[in-house]
Amino acid sequence: MNLPNRLTVFRLILTGFFVAFLSTSTHWGDVIALLLFIIASLTDWLDGYLARRLNQMTNFGKLMDPLADKVLVASALVCMIPLGALPAWAVIVIITREFLITGLRQLAAGQGQILPADPLGKHKTAWQLITILFFLILLAAGDVFGDKSRWLKFLWVNVGPFLIGITIILTIYSGLAYLLKNRNLLR
């Protein structure tokens, strides 16, 4: 197994530890979860960079890299529901979009076509990560400064919904645009 593929597997393992720390009430657990999420996100960038740079793209990597990304993001989103960071409906919208686009890509692959990532989809992913990191940083800051901090509450209540709104709009818009662009596969 080459280095980019090892990094992808490592990201899946980190996701398990990330979920464990974010889901428990251990002191500094949110800080550790934030660090694990950042490291996992960096491995996503690094494995792709190395695969292209070293010309080590494999079928395993083509399958597992985007899957590991989706597992990391979906895990973070689901874990944030009981923490009050994200409403369940928003998480369902995001995960549903990911399933639909993944299904469309599998349909295309079955017809011998490869559907590349769309620039709008990359913007959607960036906003999903920004939103997740925003809440993870606030949760970690709550561990460090205490949950009662007024500025943490202000950011949570006033900036959080704004980021969720942008993320949901881009998620829906990019999903619909991708489906419309590739509607010939649905016939």
Residue-range domains of the chain with CATH: 3-186 (1.20.120.1760)
Q: Is the pTM of this model over 0.85?
A: yes
List C-alpha distances in Å: 39 to 18, 46, 146: 10, 10, 24
Per-10-residue mean pLDDT for the chain, 187 residues long? 94 97 89 97 90 88 86 96 95 96 87 81 91 95 81 90 97 94 86
The per-residue pLDDT for 113 is: 84
**Helices in the chain by DSSP H: which ranges?**
3-23, 29-53, 59-80, 88-110, 119-145, 150-158, 160-181
With vertex at residue 25, the alpha carbon angle to CA 27 and CA 22, rounded to the nearest 5 degrees, is 95
pLDDT of residue 87: 96
